[in-house]
Amino acid sequence: MHLTRRAFTAATAAALAATSALASPARKPIVIAHRGASGERPEHTLMGYRLAVDQGCDFIEPDLVLTMDGVLVVRHENEISGTTDVASRREFAIRRTTKFIDGEKIEGWFAEDFTLAELKTLRARERLPDLRPGSAKFDGREAVPTFQEVIDLATAESRRVGRTIGVYPEMKHPAFLASLGLPIEARLAAALKTNGLDARDAPVFVQCFEAAPLATFKTLSKARRVQLVGAGNPAMVSAEGLKAIAQYADGVGPDWSMVLPTLDGALGPPSALVADAHAVGLLVHPWTVRAENRFLPAKLRRGTSLAEHGDAEAVFLALYAAGVDGVFSDFPGLAVAARG
């Protein structure tokens, strides 16, 4: 069901005001469910998003790629063998191919080589089964969702729980998709407009690692934009780099280690990133805090297995103390509990 802006606003006006307030540095930080509750359910599944809502998240995050017929669908990457059963489907064996994406040679099956109808025959599965065997138990239960289905879920869940659940879509590989004649920016802007989300105060942030698509998106939609930054690009979050980002974005999403450097296997003092970003009017939403030992500094690990959970709470608490405006996590329940 597609909702008009008036219908969406009428259903969620009070909660929207609360969510907008959460995005201010003066308010408590938002919790963004990274690909849903992806530490406990296969990522980018509707069941994972619903669990994240039950755990108290404020936003759910869908990564967006495109099908051959130009439909926005939700996958971590356009290469889909890691998150679906496509490799076991004989009818699609011929679709296996090699592509060069953002300078990297990648072999597999790609969303843009499937129609939506074909993609819907596949089933989602856990991307990290060795680390997350509990999540892998849910393999095969759901199809790949469209972006519209995620928006509809957010709207329905907002009504169910009595607070606004925002959406935080990421444009994946937009330059590559544009080279195939599948530009993603206009399609995303149109989807937001159709669903009454083309507004500065709408419960939505649009994110991307590429700067040019965000600048383009600024001309197409009033929705807020966030520049993602990897740990290997520190110049981008220097004081001067942040000033440049502020020309086309409303926030910055750095790797969390850029806010909290690790020293001798432990969390060190916060960097200047949050203060510098706030000085030029940018929100700061670092990514992605995960609970497993594999993703934590040595001194925060517990037990001997990389799959065991360490002291992720220490990371959340340190990020909140550093003044971040939000945080991405595969375990939104832990992020909410630490915030509380």
Catalytic residues: 34, 76
Tokens standing for residue 11: 């259903």
- Dist. CA 253–CA 310, nearest whole Å: 24
- b/e code 170-200 from CB counts within 10 Å (16+ = b): bbbbbebbeeeebbbbebbbebbbebbbbbe
Terminal CA-CA length for the chain:
35
- Dist. CA 320–CA 322, nearest whole Å: 5
Helix, strand, or coil (residue 318): helix
Residue 73 has φ and ψ, to the nearest 5°, of -125, 165
- Dist. CA 110–CA 79, nearest whole Å: 4
Any idea which residue has 């138990």 for tokens?
Answer: 137
Residue 126: what residue type? E
Any idea which residue has 């064996």 for tokens?
Answer: 93
Helix, strand, or coil (residue 104): strand
